[in-house]
Amino acid sequence: MIRTEKLCKYYSIHSRHEVHAIRDINLNISKNTFVVFNGPSGSGKTTLLNIIGALDRPTEGKVFIYDEEITSFSDIGLSRLRREKIGFIFQNFHLIPRLSSWENVSYPLIPLGISFRERFQMAKLLLEKVGLGDRLDHAPEELSGGQQQRVAIARALVNNPEIIIADEPTSNIDDETSEHLLELLKELQTDGVTILVATHDAGFEKIADEIYKIKNGRLE
Amino acid sequence: MKKHTNLLLLATENLLRHKTKSIVVSLCIIAILLPFITAIAISEGVRLQSLGSVEESADLYLTFDEFGRNAAIPLKYLDEVKEVFGVKKVVPRIIGRCYLQDKLAVIVGIDKEYLPESTTCVTGRIFENANEVVIGNELAEYFNLNIGDQFSMRGQNRKLFTIVGFFSSASNIWSASTIFMPFEDAGDLFGKREFATDIQIYSVPGHNGEIATELYYIFENEPYRLQDKGMIELYVKKGFMLKEGIFTALYTVAFALGIPAILVASGFGLSERRKEIGIMKATGWQTLEVLELISFEQLLISLFGATTAILLSIIWMKCFNGAFIAQFFIGEINLLPEFAVPAKFLPLPCLLSFFFAIILTMVGSIYSSWRASTESPVAALK
Ligand SMILES: Nc1ncnc2c1ncn2[C@@H]1O[C@H](COP(=O)(O)OP(=O)(O)OP(=O)(O)O)[C@@H](O)[C@H]1O
Ligand SMILES: [Mg+2]
């Protein structure tokens, strides 16, 4: 379902020194698998997930989703892909300040023409699912790190994605909550969702179908 | 359709959520537009009144020419001009200016049967005898004058005038400071008998050309000057265009200063905005949808700013009589007794100011938003 070919991302700093964030990544992930990426800080996990999640373009190489080469998609095509197939949970949440939890969760639905009432219902359901049913009207500034994380998770689920990509989803939450998140993701997998997680959390490795180790931008 | 409604509602919410920014941008728009709208309204109002008073006036104006300016014309030609074929009526006038205490008054010396039609006596009567005058409403109000009161002009106290009536005129710039008196009295007042400042000629339609030819022979070597209604109208219009030009020049400077202000104001929280756009794009928003939302925001704020500016301008005219702005269009306004400055709010300038506002706010936001929404979400989220 997700396939990468010789994926590379270079960053040039001061136009000379190139940082090879990832290089020659070849992946083949089938539908409905639970994949974990593991590696030290700076090894390129975020870079890889951003590219697979259609948030960034690689310097070289190709990404295929359902045998479609998304790396050749236009801006519109990528937006559509993100809207229809991918739910992304960022390492640092990226919630919109001053908007309440439910507004943040339902924000992706606004351009779909879904009514206020429906949006609220959908957001409420998801927030209850992540255990934030009593924090619907709180802005990110009024939530703890772990709670913000959960709002971000609820937002990633709001478009019923087929692929969920989570970048260190448990780095800000305690063991109990991360246990809860693990269950939630497992549950989604049984619903047919493909899950990609970058993490140091050993708990994930136990339930993962596939584990990839990344070091210095390469798969080991 | 539902999508656009959603985006419009969200735009409204966003403006309300970022109150400080919205208020600052609105204030900038208002500060830029208010003088513009007021000036246009005054200039329109004054122009309409002036053209109106030209409309009801004579077909030809005859004066002497001195150094290229209009100069007084001797009355001895009056009878000859009267006899010219095509001339219906000739009216000699004396128009001059004199101080009544500290206010400038326009003296019009004219025979009573030739008083302009739009000038109607609201109280009292038209002058009948020597040294009787009819004065404008505003002037009377300013000096608190009553019928039967006597006064003399500054520096000319040998002549004592008696007020017999007050008038109001369709063009209130004129009525504000005008004093009508018999032709001979005006000649006395200015110490120039046997002269008129101009002779108004009313003609049979289509005979202006012949009259001009005839006058050429009458005046032979005298430096006379003949102007027709169209020319006078043109002068009035030209005068206004000049005044508008001066105002526009000053205004352009203010406008040029206002643009950076708006840019700075709409640039408030630009990095926050950039991040917000990154989040929107990352969660599936299309670039066009992002830009639509932002355009809606600019549209709404412009609409709000422009409407407020128009309302404030109307209030400015009603309550403060166009203070600070009216003097650009009405010379010596401080020397005249107070009168209601004419103003006319036409739809076109109002529409224009709305477009101004849109352009200003769009310039401040669209480019940066477009940049943020076309780069990769990861870059926008940095
Ligand atoms: N915008 C950028 N410009 C330059 N270098 C970058 C940029 N983004 C990432 N890098 C570099 O790419 C490498 C991989 O970064 P990445 O964020 O993918 O690591 P990571 O595995 O997610 O680390 P962590 O576990 O700390 O999140 C790092 O060495 C980093 O310095
Ligand atoms: Mg990372």
Give the pLDDT score at A28: 94
Give the pLDDT score at B171: 59
Q: Does B279 touch chain A (CB under 8 A)?
A: yes
How far does the centroid of ligand 1 lie from the alpha carbon of residue A178, in Å?
A: 24
State the residue range of the domain holding B303. Answer: 1-53+236-381
Does A107 sit within 8 Å of B280, measured CB to CB? yes
Do the Cβ atoms of B225 and B70 come closer than 8 Å? Answer: yes
Instruction: For tokens 């209601």, name the residue.
Output: B340
Instruction: Return the H-helix or E-strand segment holding B54.
Output: helix B19-55
Residues B337 and B254 in one domain: yes
Task: Find the residues whose C-beta lies inside 6 A of ligand 1.
Answer: A 11, 13, 19, 21, 39, 41-47, 91
Query: What's the number of CA atoms in the CB half-sphere (13 Å) around residue B104?
Result: 10
pLDDT, tens digit only, all 220 positions of chain A: 899 999 999 988 777 668 889 999 999 999 999 999 999 988 999 999 999 999 999 999 999 999 899 999 999 999 999 999 999 999 888 999 989 999 999 999 999 999 999 999 999 999 999 889 999 999 999 998 889 989 999 999 999 999 999 999 887 777 887 888 888 899 999 999 999 999 888 888 888 999 999 999 898 8
Residues B46 and B72 in one domain: no
Single-letter residue type at B93: R
Structure tokens at A195: 């899950």
Q: Does B246 touch chain A (CB under 8 A)?
A: no
Structure tokens at B344: 């006319």
Instruction: For tokens 């493909």, name the residue.
Output: A194
Q: How far is CA B29 from the centre of its chain?
A: 22
Residue A88's nearest CA partner among A156, A16, A174 is: A156
In the listed set B227, B259, B291, which residue is the last one of a domain according to the structure? B227
Residues of A in contact with B1 (CB under 8 A): 113
- C-alpha torsion sign, points B278, B280, B283, B286: negative
- C-alpha torsion sign, points B343, B346, B348, B352: positive
Give the pLDDT score at A112: 94
Single-letter residue type at B173: I
Residues B195 and B242 in one domain: no
Q: Does B278 touch chain A (CB under 8 A)?
A: yes
Does B276 sit within 8 Å of A80, measured CB to CB? no
Residues B173 and B306 in one domain: no
Do the Cβ atoms of B187 and B195 come closer than 8 Å? Answer: yes
Residue A76's nearest CA partner among B290, B297, B270 is: B290
CATH number reported for the structural domain that contains residue A106 in this entry: 3.40.50.300
> Does the residue A212 lie in any domain?
yes
Number of domains chain A contains: 1
Residues B299 and B365 in one domain: yes
Positions in chain B whose pLDDT score sits under 70? 53, 56, 157, 169-175, 266-268, 329-339
- Residue identifier of the C-alpha nearest atom 28 of ligand 1: A42
How far does the centroid of ligand 2 lie from the alpha carbon of residue A217, in Å?
A: 12
- Residue identifier of the C-alpha nearest atom 6 of ligand 1: A11
Give the pLDDT score at B239: 72
Q: Does A113 touch chain B (CB under 8 A)?
A: yes
Number of domains chain B contains: 2
Q: How far is A206 from chain B, CA to nearest CA, in Å?
A: 30
Q: What is the DSSP string of B231-294?
A: HHHHHHHHHHHHHHHHHHHHHHHHHHHHHHHHHHHHHTTHHHHHHHHHHHHHTT--HHHHHHHH
Residues of B in contact with A48 (CB under 8 A): none
Instruction: Pinpoint the alpha helices (H) of chain A.
Output: 45-52, 75-84, 101-106, 116-129, 145-157, 175-190, 202-207
Give the pLDDT score at B346: 85
Residues B73 and B152 in one domain: yes
Search chain B and give the residue with CA nearest A158. Answer: B283
Residues B202 and B241 in one domain: no
Residue A2's nearest CA partner among A28, A39, A40, A35 is: A28
Q: Does B10 touch chain A (CB under 8 A)?
A: yes
> Does the residue A75 lie in any domain?
no
Residues B63 and B148 in one domain: yes
Q: Determine the residue among B17, B22, B283 to mutate to test chain A binding: the one whose Cβ has the most chain A Cβ atoms within 10 Å.
A: B283
Provide the angle, in degrees to the nearest 10, between the axes of the packed helices A145-157 and A116-129: 120
d(CA A89, CA A149): 8
Any idea what the Cα angle at residue B251 is, between residues B302 and B355, rounded to 5°? 25
Q: Which of residues 283-302 of B touch A (CB under 8 A)?
A: 283-287, 289
Residue B235's nearest CA partner among B53, B45, B88, B90 is: B53
d(CA B260, CA B113): 60
d(CA A83, CA A102): 18
Residues B137 and B198 in one domain: yes
d(CA B188, CA B152): 13
Q: Does B380 touch chain A (CB under 8 A)?
A: no
d(CA A150, CA A172): 10
Residue B262's nearest CA partner among B159, B364, B111, B136 is: B364
Do the Cβ atoms of B184 and B130 come closer than 8 Å? Answer: yes
pLDDT tens digits, one per residue of A133-168: 999 999 999 998 889 989 999 999 999 999 999 999
Residue A30's nearest CA partner among A187, A189, A184 is: A189
Residues B363 and B243 in one domain: yes
- Residue identifier of the C-alpha nearest atom 11 of ligand 1: A21
Residues B205 and B284 in one domain: no
Give the pLDDT score at B333: 61
Residues B339 and B240 in one domain: yes
Residues of B in contact with A159 (CB under 8 A): 283-284
Q: How far is CA B287 from the centre of its chain?
A: 46
Q: Which ipTM value was assigned to this complex?
A: 0.94
> Does the residue A153 lie in any domain?
yes
For chain B, counts of helices (H) and of strands (E): 12, 13
With left for phi above 0 and alpha for psi between -120 and 50, is residue B64 left, alpha or beta?
beta
d(CA B19, CA B142): 47
Do the Cβ atoms of B182 and B127 come closer than 8 Å? Answer: yes
Does B3 sit within 8 Å of A113, measured CB to CB? yes
Structure tokens at A51: 């590219």
Do the Cβ atoms of B108 and B160 come closer than 8 Å? Answer: no
Query: What's the number of CA atoms in the CB half-sphere (13 Å) around residue B189?
Result: 30
Of B9, B276, B376, the CB nearest to A55: B376
Residue B365's nearest CA partner among B32, B33, B28, B36 is: B28
In the listed set B208, B227, B246, which residue is the last one of a domain according to the structure? B227
Do the Cβ atoms of B153 and B99 come closer than 8 Å? Answer: yes
State the residue range of the domain holding A109. Answer: 30-57+83-219
pLDDT tens digits, one per residue of A167-177: 998 877 778 87
Q: Would strands B224-228 and B178-181 be described as parallel, antiparallel, or unpaired?
A: unpaired
How far does the centroid of ligand 2 lie from the alpha carbon of residue A61, in Å?
A: 21
How far does the centroid of ligand 2 lie from the alpha carbon of residue B272, in Å?
A: 22
How far does the centroid of ligand 1 lie from the alpha carbon of residue A22, in Å?
A: 9
Give the pLDDT score at B285: 95
In the listed set B197, B227, B257, which residue is the last one of a domain according to the structure? B227
Residue B269's nearest CA partner among B53, B97, B21 is: B21
